[in-house]
Structure 1
C-alpha cells in the first residue's frame, strides 16, 4: 500500500505501527566539561591572536567556575544546558572554524558585513562570555538570597543577632 491507502489503513489500525525511539546523548560529566574547555585552550596555544586567547580564557574560566555549581539547576534547565553546550559544542566549533582558515585570510580578508573571520570569531566569543557571565550572576544571586533567607530563619529561631536583615521584618 502507499499514499492514501497507507493513511487509511493506519487510521483504522490495520497497518503495523512503528515505534520510534529517540536516543539522547548522555549528559557530560563535570570532568568531561572541564576537559572540553581545556582542549580548546590547548588547541589555540600559539595559533591565535592575543585577542582570541583572552576571550577564550574568559569563557573557559567562567565554565570552570560554573561546573561545580551545575547541580543547582534543575533537570533540563536551559541555563545549565547553555553552560554545557558552550563548553562542549559552541566554543570548540567556533574556534575550530577559525583555525581551519589560513591565518592571513582569517585575519585580513573581509568575509561578512565588513568583518574578517577574526572579528566574527571575537564577536561570537564575546557573546558566549556575556551569556555565561549572566548565568553565573543569576546563580550567585540565588545563592546569596538563600544565604539571606537562612540568616533570617536563624534570627527568627534564635532571637536577634547581627544576622537580622534591616527591614526584613525580623523580631
Structure 2
C-alpha cells in the first residue's frame, strides 16, 4: 500500500476517493458543500491520473484525509445550526466550510498545474499550503482502507498453551466460554 515515504499508492488512493465520494456527497449534504467536495475529489483523482509520483500522491492523500475529517464533522452538525448559527466574530459553519473548500479547490488546481509543468518547487509550495491550512489529526495513510493481513509468525506452541484456535485467515480465535443452560431455573435460597 505505501512506499517508503508512507504515502499510499495511487490505486489505494483512487479507491479511497471513490469511498469518500459516496460518504461525503450524499443527500444529507448541502448542495453548496456537495458540489465543492465533488470538485476536490475529482481534482485529487485527476492529479493521480496525471502523475503517480510521491508529491502528487501526497497532495491527493492529504486532500482525502482533510475532507474525511472536516466535511465528516460538518455533516454531524445539526442542519439548522450548521447553516445559521454563528459565534460572534466568526462565520456560520456552512460559510466556513464553503470558504475552506473553495480554497482547497484552488490549491488543487495550482498543484495540478505545477505537476503538469513539472515545477517541483511550485508543487512543494502547494503541499506546504495543504500541510499548514489543511492539517489533519489522522494520518493520510490511515484514511486508505487496508486489507487485514494474517500474521505469518503465529507461534503454534503459544496458541496451544492458551487454548486458542487459529482460523483459516491466520487470526487466533478466543474460545467462547461455556454458556449456562437456558432451561436452568434458579432457586431462591431458603429463608
* Greater RCO (Cα-Cα under 8 Å, separation 6 or more): 2
**Which consecutive segments of 4 or more residues in structure 1 shift more than 6 A?**
none
Q: How does 1:64-143 map to 2 (within 5 A)?
A: 64-71=45-52, 73=53, 75=54, 77=55, 80-87=57-64, 89-111=65-87, 113-142=89-118
Distance (Å, rounded) in 1 between the aligned partners of 2:17 and 2:88: 27
Distance (Å, rounded) in 1 between the aligned partners of 2:68 and 2:22: 11
Match of 1:54 in 2: 35
Q: CA deviation at 1:34?
A: 1.7
Distance (Å, rounded) in 2 between the aligned partners of 1:65 and 1:136: 8
Distance (Å, rounded) in 2 between the aligned partners of 1:112 and 1:33: 39
The 3-state SS of whatever aligns with 2:118 is helix
Distance (Å, rounded) in 1 between the aligned partners of 2:57 and 2:21: 21
Query: Can you list the C-alpha shifts for 1:117-153, whole angstroms capped at 9, x where unaligned?
Result: 111111111121111100101122239xxxxxxxxxx
Higher helix share: 1
With the length of structure 2 as denominator, give the TM-score of the two structures: 0.53
Unaligned runs of 5+ in 2: 120-191
Query: Is contact 2:8-2:57 (8 Å) kept?
Result: no
With the length of structure 1 as denominator, give the TM-score of the two structures: 0.59
Between stretches 106-115 and 90-99, larger displacement belongs to 106-115
